[in-house]
Amino acid sequence: MGPSKLIDLHLLTPEMVALIQLSDVADVPREMASDADRILPAEGNSPPQQLIAHLESMQYDGPISIELQNPQLWQVPPRQVGEIAITSLRKLLGQAETVVADDHRAE
C-alpha cells in the first residue's frame, strides 16, 4: 500500500529485510487503499508473483507471513482464518496446488 512501487524492491537486500508480510487489495487503487481494503494475498489486484520472483532473485530466505488488517477477517474464528491464510500463502509460494472444480461430473 502507499506510494511505493514494485521497482522500489530492487533497492532492498536480504540483510535489510527481517520479515515479509503479505496482503492484497481488491477493487481499490493501491495508493488509495486503507487497512480495511486488504485481503488475502493473490485474491486481489496486486502482482504478487513479481514480488515473490524478486524475493527469490535476491535469495531472501527469511520468514513470510500474512498481514491481517481487514476487520472482516477478524470476525472469522482464528483457526479458520489460519487455515485459509496458510493455504493462500502456500498457493502463492507454489507449495500447494490450486484445485479446479470438475463441472463434468456424472449424475
Tens-place pLDDT, residues 46-89 = 777 778 888 888 888 889 888 888 888 889 999 998 898 888 88
Percent pLDDT > 90 in the chain is 6
Give me the helices (H) in 11-70, please: 48-57
Expressed in angstroms, the distance from the first to the final Cα of the chain is 47
pTM value?
Answer: 0.69
Rounded CA gap, 43 and 40, in Å? 6
What residue has cell string 461430473? 105
